[in-house]
């Protein structure tokens, strides 16, 4: 058994121990325990990554997949079985690093942030559960294992969003997240069934091999059978993408993500910024050869949904006043970037730039977005509020957070030489070569990104005076809260310098990244303009922003109301589904089904009440009935024998 299995087992162990005995026996030790296990997982991941990328990953100049663990779990027929295993290839190794690293940072941060919490051990056990399931998801060797861990990730997300279960809004948010992603997972499951039905296998390697070989009978079958004029393969891939879109908060399944910010802030950093929400991107990337080679139409859907979500979320982010919601929409926008980067990519060589850029952006985004959330956590910890209007002028009180937040904002805005610049730059290049429309929307969105991020930055740290009433007395927080921010800040600055194309590409062959400064000029200029606008509107205490907002009037309000998507969902679910389907169904259930059962129950009750009188416990009554019965039987016998 490969030691790699420990990466998964350690967090699971921690989940079981802190979950079962944490609250009673471990108490504060639960945090240390979980953090240690995640640290161990991280160390193993780093060694794995080193060995894979630098020692034994390459075969003939190409990174190939390895299967250190492959265990046959359920065998249906000799041809069809479900395995559980560990798949090591460039993207899974990259994800292992990201997940264990961000998880470690969040674990450390939570040591300070969640201190004094009553359900401290429960919190850590949930975090460990999440880490375990996310790691299981990224190393899955087959699509069914992916699905299992996919759902586990959803469950732990649900548990952590609803962690403050005494708050009604948190309960509502956790339910919403669960139901929306479950709904999307229905599509995923259907997609799995279609893909595996036509390919005859659940293994990723078989699915990819059988669908990308144009002469294979599986591919022919999947293409030739169609439903509503669309081939089965396209249906399968689009349905799988719907599952991914649900987890990755793509339009129109994004509604749960902003509400998910009800969870503790470190959880938002881990789950709803860096790791779980990119699972959809990862899923598409995992099946990428099938999308790219056999079904460009499905890939085009990915691109369109991605770029639309990106722009859509960026617009809304400009108007939100809850800092975590701004970050949530920003996350959605950045995931949109990753999605359409995949969508515009081809397979192999230079054409595969988009794929590499998407993974690169996933990597850098995880770092700087986690940092942004952790900084936001510190700010919220300090002022005890999520609203921008309660903040302002915090630069002096929170110097380290201030610097870290600034670095992260620069990174997300794509200002060189910060990490976001390199990844975003490559995404834009890929888009430019593929589709000009997508490129222009993306560039404008990038400009908007820097605008809303710096709006947030200035509103928190500069504008106005520090509100001395609201602030608490514990300053910037413990060292366990500051250390992850500092580490992540370094990461945000430096991660872009990694020659990512050498390691992660669509076909495993290295790709030389080349920065074309002439091309980069436009995005940088737009981003800088966004920053300047933010400085103009939000650096000093003035009413320019309000004036601008009132000029736009209805547009501003509708953006602020998140373009009424929630209201539309409300309308559809409450008015249409609830009134027209659920209520009649409930009526039927209550009156017909329950009525039938209740009638049976009542009849039985009446019958038994009647007969229970006979069971009085009175010996004399019993013997009287016995005698009477005997006499009756006697009479019947006599009558039968014709003696009477």
Contacts of residue 358, defined as CB under 8 A and 6 or more positions apart, other chains included, come to 281, 285, 337, 338, 339, 341, 342, 345, 427
Shortest CB 627 distance to another protein, Å:
6
Give how far the C-alpha of residue 348 lies from the chain's centroid of Cα atoms, to the nearest Å.
28
Query: How would DSSP label each residue in 398-442?
Result: -HHHHHHHHHHHHHHHT-TTSHHHHHHHHHHHHHHHH-HHHHHHH
- Cα-based angle 584, 590, 596 (whole degrees, multiple of 5): 125
Taking the C-alpha atoms of residue 170 and residue 231, their distance in angstroms, rounded to an integer, is 41
Is 637 a binder of another protein (CB under 8 A)?
A: no
Shortest CB 184 distance to another protein, Å:
55
> Of the candidates 627, 629, 636, 639, which one interacts with another protein according to CB under 8 A?
627
Identify the residue whose tokens are 């514990």: 474
Residue span binding another protein (CB under 8 A) among the ranges 15-23, 395-403, 573-581, 636-644:
636-644
Residue span binding another protein (CB under 8 A) among the ranges 144-152, 192-200, 227-235, 610-618:
610-618
Which of 525, 634 has the CB closer to another protein?
A: 634
Which of 166, 620 has the CB closer to another protein?
A: 620
Taking the C-alpha atoms of residue 364 and residue 354, their distance in angstroms, rounded to an integer, is 15
Shortest CB 643 distance to another protein, Å:
7
Number of residues that bind another protein (CB under 8 A): 15
Is 636 a binder of another protein (CB under 8 A)?
A: no
Taking the C-alpha atoms of residue 339 and residue 281, their distance in angstroms, rounded to an integer, is 6
> Of the candidates 553, 618, 640, 642, which one interacts with another protein according to CB under 8 A?
618
- Containing 66, the helix (H) or strand (E) segment is strand 66-75
Alpha helices in 477-516 (DSSP H): 479-494
Q: Are 517 and 421 in contact (CB under 8 A)?
A: no
Residue span binding another protein (CB under 8 A) among the ranges 2-10, 275-283, 455-463, 617-625:
617-625
Alpha helices in 162-231 (DSSP H): 168-199, 204-212, 217-224
φ/ψ of 87, rounded to 5, equals -110, 125
Residue span binding another protein (CB under 8 A) among the ranges 9-17, 176-184, 271-279, 613-621:
613-621
Taking the C-alpha atoms of residue 93 and residue 508, their distance in angstroms, rounded to an integer, is 13
Count CB neighbours of 53 within 10 A: 17
Shortest CB 598 distance to another protein, Å:
25
> Of the candidates 623, 629, 633, 636, which one interacts with another protein according to CB under 8 A?
623
Residue span binding another protein (CB under 8 A) among the ranges 363-371, 500-508, 563-571, 631-639:
631-639
Residue span binding another protein (CB under 8 A) among the ranges 39-47, 133-141, 243-251, 622-630:
622-630
> Of the candidates 541, 635, 636, 639, which one interacts with another protein according to CB under 8 A?
635
Which of 580, 631 has the CB closer to another protein?
A: 631
Shortest CB 640 distance to another protein, Å:
14
Q: Are 19 and 110 in contact (CB under 8 A)?
A: no
Q: Is the dihedral of CA 583, 584, 587, 588 positive or negative?
A: negative
What residues from 204 to 223 belong to the interface with another protein (CB under 8 A)?
Answer: none
Is 554 a binder of another protein (CB under 8 A)?
A: no
> Of the candidates 60, 228, 613, 619, which one interacts with another protein according to CB under 8 A?
619
Shortest CB 587 distance to another protein, Å:
39
Is 638 a binder of another protein (CB under 8 A)?
A: yes
Residue span binding another protein (CB under 8 A) among the ranges 63-71, 343-351, 431-439, 628-636:
628-636
- Cα-based angle 7, 334, 359 (whole degrees, multiple of 5): 45
Among residues 579, 598, 602, which one has the least CA distance to residue 589? 598
Shortest CB 620 distance to another protein, Å:
5
How many residues make up the chain in this entry? 644
> Of the candidates 230, 628, 633, 636, which one interacts with another protein according to CB under 8 A?
628
What residues from 313 to 352 belong to the interface with another protein (CB under 8 A)?
Answer: none
Is 624 a binder of another protein (CB under 8 A)?
A: yes
Secondary structure of 67-134 in HEC code, one letter for each residue: EEEEEEEEECCCCCEEEEEEEECHHHHHHHHHHHHHHHHHHHHHHHHCCCCCCHHHHHHHHHHHHHHH
- Per CB under 8 A, residues contacting another protein are 616-620, 623-624, 627-628, 631, 634-635, 638, 643-644
């Amino acid at each position: 058994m490969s030691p790699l299995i420990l990466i998964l087992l350690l967090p699971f162990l921690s989940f079981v121990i802190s979950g079962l005995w944490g609250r009673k026996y471990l108490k504060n030790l639960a945090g240390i325990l979980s953090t240690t296990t995640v640290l161990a997982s991280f160390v193993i991941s780093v060694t794995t990554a080193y060995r894979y990328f630098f020692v034994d990953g390459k075969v003939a100049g190409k990174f190939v997949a390895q299967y250190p663990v492959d265990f046959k779990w359920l065998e249906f027929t000799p041809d069809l079985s479900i395995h559980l295993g560990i798949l090591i290839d460039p993207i899974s190794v990259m994800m292992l690093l990201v997940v264990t690293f961000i998880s470690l940072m969040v674990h450390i941060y939570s040591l300070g942030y969640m201190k004094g919490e009553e359900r401290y051990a429960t919190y850590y056990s949930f975090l460990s559960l999440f880490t375990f399931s996310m790691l299981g998801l990224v190393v899955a060797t087959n699509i069914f294992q992916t699905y299992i861990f996919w759902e586990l990730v959803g469950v732990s997300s649900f548990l952590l969003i609803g962690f403050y279960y005494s708050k009604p809004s948190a309960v509502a948010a956790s339910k919403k997240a669960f139901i929306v992603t479950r709904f999307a997972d229905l599509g995923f499951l259907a997609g799995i069934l279609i893909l595996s039905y036509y390919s005859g296998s659940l293994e990723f390697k078989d699915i990819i091999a059988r669908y990308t070989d144009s002469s294979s009978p599986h591919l022919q079958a999947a293409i030739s059978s169609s439903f509503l004029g669309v081939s089965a393969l396209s249906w399968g891939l689009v349905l799988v993408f719907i599952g991914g879109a649900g987890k990755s908060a793509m339009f129109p399944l994004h509604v749960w993500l902003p509400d998910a910010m009800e969870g503790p802030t470190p959880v938002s950093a881990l789950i709803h910024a860096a790791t779980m929400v990119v699972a959809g991107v990862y899923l598409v990337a995992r099946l990428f050869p099938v999308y790219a080679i056999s079904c460009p139409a499905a890939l085009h859907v990915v691109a369109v949904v991605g770029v639309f979500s990106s722009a859509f979320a960026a617009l809304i982010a400009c108007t939100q006043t809850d800092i975590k919601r701004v970050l949530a929409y920003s996350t959605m926008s950045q995931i949109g970037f990753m999605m359409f980067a995949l969508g515009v990519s081809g397979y192999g060589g230079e054409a595969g730039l988009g794929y590499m850029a998407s993974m690169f952006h996933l990597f850098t985004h995880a770092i700087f977005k986690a940092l942004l959330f952790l900084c936001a956590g510190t700010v919220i910890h300090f002022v005890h509020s999520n609203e921008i209007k309660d903040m302002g002028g915090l630069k002096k009180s929170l110097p380290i957070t201030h610097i870290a937040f600034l670095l992260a904002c620069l990174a997300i805005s794509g200002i060189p030489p910060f990490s976001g610049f390199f990844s975003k730059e490559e995404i834009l290049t890929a888009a430019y070569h593929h589709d000009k429309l997508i490129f222009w929307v993306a560039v404008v969105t990038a400009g908007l990104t820097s605008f809303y991020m710096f709006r947030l930055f200035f509103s928190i740290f500069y504008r106005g005076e520090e509100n001395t009433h609201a602030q608490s007395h514990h300053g910037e927080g413990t060292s366990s809260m500051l250390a992850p921010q500092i580490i992540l800040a370094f990461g945000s600055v430096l991660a872009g310098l990694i020659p990512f194309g050498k390691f992660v590409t669509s076909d495993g062959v290295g790709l030389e990244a080349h920065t074309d400064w002439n091309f980069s000029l436009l995005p940088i200029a737009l981003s800088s303009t966004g920053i300047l606008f933010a400085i103009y509107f939000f650096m000093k205490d003035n009413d320019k922003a309000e004036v601008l907002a009132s000029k736009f009037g209805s547009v501003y309000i509708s953006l602020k109301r998140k373009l009424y998507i929630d209201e539309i969902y409300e309308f559809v679910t409450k008015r249409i589904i609830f009134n027209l389907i659920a209520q009649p169904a409930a009526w039927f259930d209550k009156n017909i089904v329950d009525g039938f059962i209740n009638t049976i129950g009542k009849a039985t009750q009446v019958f038994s009440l009647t007969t229970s009188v006979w069971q009085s416990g009175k010996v004399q009554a019993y013997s009287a009935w016995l005698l009477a019965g005997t006499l009756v039987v006697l009479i019947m016998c006599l009558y039968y024998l014709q003696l009477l």
